[in-house]
Structure 1
Amino acid sequence: MKLFVSDYDMTLYINEHIDEKVLDAIKRWREAGNIFAIATGRNKFSIFEQIEKYNIGFDYLMANNGALIFDNERKIIFKETIDESEAYKVVKSIFDKFGATVEIATDECIISVQSKVKNDILYSDAFKIGKIIDIEEIDSIKNIIQINKMTNNIEKTKTVADFINDNFKEVIAYGNIRTVDIVGKKVSKANGIAFLENKLKNKIEKIFTAGDSNNDIEMIKKYDGYVQINAGENIKKITNKYFSLISDIMNENL
């Protein structure tokens, strides 16, 4: 039995579309007795909406970069939250240094934290925001799974991620193109895969991983994975194994 772990955005879902060849390959991969997992930085509300929209079959889902892991019945089998006092400090520091809104994922909903002026841009579609609060109310939020900060460009994303990683030791920030994902220090897609390995014991003969961004680097390195051909050069340099569609990899290994 083989395990295939795919990132979602710009790996499985490319340019706001999933190719029918990819959906067919996932179906045949699972019908052959193999396991398919999605690993994404998206929160559970956003990724489940996508799964329903495209009718994506899966065995396991890692949301929030592996902070939440679900089985194919959507039951949580793993959860890692951020220490609340650390999370509050992170959010307040982001506001002080960079301004604008910060989004927080909890079990219940996605919360957008606004500044006092209340003229911030809200990223409702991107994060499926369910509640809006002021920065003064931050201490009321419990059970924090992930913190997100949207930016204007990749350079600002790197600046924010570097600031978090340089100043806070209990969290890790993954800078993607225009989004910084902040999770507990032990959270990563690679550690999520390790959890699945342990859960499945000795049933897995080979693991395949595919991704395109900074939050995919560790799992690609650890499991000798593949990088999407249009990924940034800093990601492509970690391997010489590239793909256009994940179906290319699946079809070769069925």
Structure 2
Amino acid sequence: MKLLASNYDGTLCYGEKVMEEDSQAITEWQNAGNLFVIVTGRSKESLDKYLERDGLHPDYIVTNNGSVIFDSKGNLLKKDCLDYVTAIDTIYIAKQTEGVASYVVNDGLHRHRIVVNDKIRDVRYPTMKEDLSEEEVMNLTEYSQIVLSMANSDLASEMAEEFNLFFSENIEAYANNYCVDIVAKHVSKGTGLEYVAMYADVDMDDVYVIGNLKKDVSMLEITQNRYAFFTSPEEIKQMCEKEYTSVGELVKEIL
């Protein structure tokens, strides 16, 4: 049995939706007795509607950059949370920092958005409604991920560097285009995928990974069977065995 893991946005979903030929290839992969895993920075709540739309039924989903892991039936297998004090400090900093449009907290199952500056165009969460007050958000007991939506990608990179510098013992901050994804220390897409491989009893030699983002590096590094999506930055292409224009193209070669 083999396991194929893919990043979602920008790899499996390149454009507005997953291509039909990719969905069909993944189904063939699973019908042959193999496992398919989506590893994403998204929450399960934001991913589910797209999986249904595209006819995808992954065997496991690693969400929130490795913080929260689900099986094919939606059962929660593992959840890592930020230290509460650090989470509140993160929210406070977001409120005081120029260039933050909004922040979104995720408790592992649900996400909640708070607008920080409505004068900044919120590229990441333009239509997401506020369903809790800020007081209610700060009274939550668990935070698996906090996402800061920034005015531009340069600010996101700078903010991620600052968080990793000043909270180095407690968090991992990942710049992701206009966003900063913040999770607990030692949590990554790589740790999430390693957990799935161990849980499913799949040897690492039988794990195949494809991605396109810098934050995909941690999961690409766990196996020699690593592949880059063709839009990946050069540093990712150089560490990978080969690059592909679609997940379906990769499936046809390794099936």
Taking structure 2 as the reference length, the TM-score comes to 0.90
Give CA deviations for 1:107-140 in whole Å, capped at 9, x if unaligned: 453222234x766656785685552433x66531
Per-residue deviation, 1:12: 0.3
Per-residue deviation, 1:105: 0.9
* 1:181 aligned partner: 181
How many residue pairs get aligned? The number is 252
5+ long unaligned stretches in structure 2 = none
Q: Distance in 2 between matches of 1:53 and 1:150?
A: 26
* 2:159 aligned partner: 160
Q: Distance in 2 between matches of 1:230 and 1:76?
A: 32
Higher mean displacement: 136-145 or 9-18? 136-145
In 2, are the aligned partners of 1:46 and 1:128 still within 8 Å (CA)? no
Q: Secondary structure at the match of 1:191?
A: helix
* 2:229 aligned partner: 228
Higher mean displacement: 211-220 or 149-158? 149-158
In 2, are the aligned partners of 1:88 and 1:138 still within 8 Å (CA)? no
In 1, are the aligned partners of 2:39 and 2:66 still within 8 Å (CA)? yes
In 2, are the aligned partners of 1:145 and 1:183 still within 8 Å (CA)? yes
Per-residue deviation, 1:172: 0.4
5+ long unaligned stretches in structure 1 = none
Per-residue deviation, 1:230: 1.0
In 1, are the aligned partners of 2:69 and 2:192 still within 8 Å (CA)? yes
Question: Is the alpha carbon distance of 1:125 and 1:97 closer, same or farther for their aligned partners in structure 2, counting shifts above 3 Å?
Answer: closer
* 1:93 aligned partner: 93
Aligned: 1:243 with 2:233? no
Runs of 4+ in 1 over 6 A off after TM superposition: none
Q: Secondary structure at the match of 1:197?
A: helix
- The alignment's C-alpha RMSD in Å is 2.3
* 1:111 aligned partner: 112
Per-residue deviation, 1:202: 5.2
% of aligned pairs identical?
26
Q: Secondary structure at the match of 1:222?
A: coil
Q: Distance in 2 between matches of 1:226 and 1:176?
A: 20
Q: Distance in 2 between matches of 1:189 and 1:232?
A: 18
Aligned: 1:144 with 2:143? yes
Taking structure 1 as the reference length, the TM-score comes to 0.90
In 1, are the aligned partners of 2:44 and 2:109 still within 8 Å (CA)? no
Per-residue deviation, 1:85: 0.7
Per-residue deviation, 1:203: 6.1
In 1, are the aligned partners of 2:4 and 2:36 still within 8 Å (CA)? yes
Question: Is the alpha carbon distance of 1:237 and 1:91 closer, same or farther for their aligned partners in structure 2, counting shifts above 3 Å?
Answer: farther
Question: Is the alpha carbon distance of 1:11 and 1:202 closer, same or farther for their aligned partners in structure 2, counting shifts above 3 Å?
Answer: closer
Higher mean displacement: 34-43 or 161-170? 161-170
